[in-house]
């Protein structure tokens, strides 16, 4: 998959098969669109192009709305899309100027002139252009003018899966990792690098790596303990993750993300770590002293190992 972060980098294609969207989560609802994209490009002997946006359009169009946590950072989204055998990924900078583009300007200057679009695959009721004036109906009504064949994924195909990024966000914030992962089609991901902590975990037999998530818009799930897979430099390990304020031992109430990696004793400071959240085990609670905390951590480890075996 070739990646472009500027439209000027893209050379127009002879027969581009294109889809457009934010694709936050790259969930199984999106899978319908992406599979149709790659199937069609193969059928017509064309090249598949996915146009996505960064930052997420909501941050530009709805600045005063309640902030949402993103299911994917940009790098996570690229990682997930790469598995779909898409030929070209074009990441457009979504800013206020871009948001003012009319549907005609977007179609003529980007889809046709810059990309060479011959086929356009869209999810049900997808809108684009200033004031959401562009639609599948508009494209079909101007088919001869634009020379683009439009394909819409039917409403029932998307809704029958009952998938939306909103549903997944709510599940993660409620600690329902099972529902979230089922609808994503993969375990929820957290990606960050290891920073130095207070090293208290070492003194109680549960050393942890403190993970810093650089993208502050990334959705952090409900506080609590999770069974997780941990990826470091391509190697996979098992572990348990705590998200929260560590009420038994923490006085400043800062939220932390700490992972205890099973059967592991290496220096990982500064390294990038990817976490796959498999199962939410329990809520974060305040214990009556360190000894009670240690006993619970032992139980958490047994349960996590059982889940991950």
Q: What is the CATH number of the domain that holds 73?
A: 3.40.50.620
Instruction: Enumerate the β-bridge partners of residue 54.
Output: 93
The model's pLDDT over 34-70, given as tens digits with 9 standing for 90+, comes to 999 999 999 999 999 999 999 999 889 887 777 789 9
Query: Is 172 within a domain?
Result: no
**Rounded distance between C-alpha atoms, residue 119 and residue 135, angstroms:** 14
CB atoms within 10 A of CB 217: 13
Query: Is 87 within a domain?
Result: yes
Closest CA to 207 of 248, 245, 258: 258
- Least reliable range by pLDDT among 40-44, 71-75, 138-142, 164-168: 164-168
Looking at the structure, do residues 185 and 86 belong to the same domain, yes or no? no
The model's pLDDT over 198-215, given as tens digits with 9 standing for 90+, comes to 666 666 779 999 999 999
Query: Is 284 within a domain?
Result: yes
Burial class (CB in 10 A: 0-12, 13-18, 19+), 307: middle
Residue finishing a domain among 130, 159, 188: 159
CB-side neighbour CA atoms (13 Å) of 50: 28
Domain span at residue 266 reads 179-308
Looking at the structure, do residues 148 and 265 belong to the same domain, yes or no? no
Closest CA to 120 of 131, 100, 134: 134
Looking at the structure, do residues 218 and 155 belong to the same domain, yes or no? no
Looking at the structure, do residues 11 and 144 belong to the same domain, yes or no? yes
Q: pLDDT at residue 161 above 60?
A: no
Looking at the structure, do residues 101 and 185 belong to the same domain, yes or no? no
CB atoms within 10 A of CB 91: 18
Query: Is 132 within a domain?
Result: yes
In whole numbers, what is the pLDDT of the chain averaged over residues?
92
Query: Is 41 within a domain?
Result: yes
Give residue 246's pLDDT. Answer: 85
**What ranges in the chain are assigned the alpha helix state H?**
28-43, 57-61, 74-81, 96-99, 103-105, 136-141, 143-146, 155-159, 165-173, 177-184, 200-203, 290-308
Q: pLDDT at residue 160 above 60?
A: no
Q: pLDDT at residue 80 above 80?
A: yes
pTM (two decimals): 0.89
**Rounded distance between C-alpha atoms, residue 168 and residue 188, angstroms:** 10
Residue partners of 1: CB distance under 8 A and separation at least 6: 81, 82, 85, 86, 87, 88, 89
C-alpha to C-alpha distances, 145 to 72, 151, 246, nearest whole angstrom: 37, 17, 62
Looking at the structure, do residues 7 and 154 belong to the same domain, yes or no? yes
Closest CA to 29 of 168, 140, 145, 132: 168
Residue finishing a domain among 98, 130, 159: 159
C-alpha to C-alpha distances, 192 to 74, 186, 210, nearest whole angstrom: 13, 18, 9
Tally the domains of the chain. Answer: 2
Give residue 256's pLDDT. Answer: 94
The model's pLDDT over 259-306, given as tens digits with 9 standing for 90+, comes to 999 999 898 999 999 999 999 999 999 999 899 999 999 999 999 999
DSSP 8-state symbol, 106: I
Q: Is 89 left (phi over 0), alpha (psi -120 to 50) or beta?
A: beta
**Rounded distance between C-alpha atoms, residue 255 and residue 260, angstroms:** 16
- Least reliable range by pLDDT among 38-52, 100-114, 239-253: 239-253
Looking at the structure, do residues 141 and 235 belong to the same domain, yes or no? no
Looking at the structure, do residues 9 and 139 belong to the same domain, yes or no? yes
Looking at the structure, do residues 87 and 143 belong to the same domain, yes or no? yes
Looking at the structure, do residues 186 and 128 belong to the same domain, yes or no? no
- pLDDT band at 158, cuts 50/70/90? low
Q: pLDDT at residue 111 above 90?
A: yes
Q: What is the CATH number of the domain that holds 226?
A: 2.40.30.30
Query: Is 118 within a domain?
Result: yes
Cis amide bond preceding 146, omega within 30: no
Give residue 196's pLDDT. Answer: 84
Query: Is 95 within a domain?
Result: yes
Decide: helix, strand or coil at residue 293.
helix
Looking at the structure, do residues 40 and 117 belong to the same domain, yes or no? yes
Query: Is 94 within a domain?
Result: yes
Looking at the structure, do residues 9 and 145 belong to the same domain, yes or no? yes
Closest CA to 72 of 210, 169, 182, 183: 169
């Amino acid at each position: 998959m070739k990646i472009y972060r500027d439209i000027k980098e893209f050379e127009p294609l002879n027969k581009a098969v294109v889809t457009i969207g934010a694709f936050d989560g790259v969930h199984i609802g999106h899978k319908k669109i992406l599979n149709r994209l790659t199937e069609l490009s193969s059928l017509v002997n064309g090249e598949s192009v996915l146009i996505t946006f960064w930052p997420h359009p909501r941050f530009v169009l709805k600045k005063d709305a309640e902030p949402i946590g993103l299911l994917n950072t940009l790098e996570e989204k690229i990682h997930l899309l790469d598995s779909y055998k898409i030929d070209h990924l074009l990441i457009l900078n979504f800013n206020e100027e871009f948001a003012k583009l009319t549907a005609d300007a977007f179609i003529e200057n980007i889809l046709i002139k810059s990309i060479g679009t011959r086929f356009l695959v869209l999810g049900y009721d997808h809108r684009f252009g200033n004031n959401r004036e562009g639609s599948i109906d508009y494209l079909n009504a101007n088919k001869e003018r634009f020379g683009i064949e439009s394909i819409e994924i039917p409403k029932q195909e998307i809704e029958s899966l009952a998938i939306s990024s909103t549903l997944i966000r709510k599940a993660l914030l409620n600690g329902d990792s099972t529902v979230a992962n089922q609808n994503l089609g993969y375990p929820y991901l957290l990606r960050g690098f290891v920073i130095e902590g207070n090293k208290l975990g070492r003194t109680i037999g549960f050393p942890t790596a403190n993970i810093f998530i650089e993208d502050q818009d990334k959705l952090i799930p409900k506080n609590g303990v999770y069974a997780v897979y941990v990826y470091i430099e391509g190697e996979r390990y098992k572990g348990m993750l705590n998200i929260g304020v560590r009420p038994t031992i923490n006085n400043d109430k800062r939220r932390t993300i700490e992972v205890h990696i099973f059967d592991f004793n290496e220096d990982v400071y500064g390294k990038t770590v990817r976490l796959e959240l498999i199962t939410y085990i329990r809520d974060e609670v305040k214990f009556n002293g360190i000894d009670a905390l240690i006993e619970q951590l032992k139980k958490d480890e047994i349960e996590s190992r059982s889940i991950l075996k």
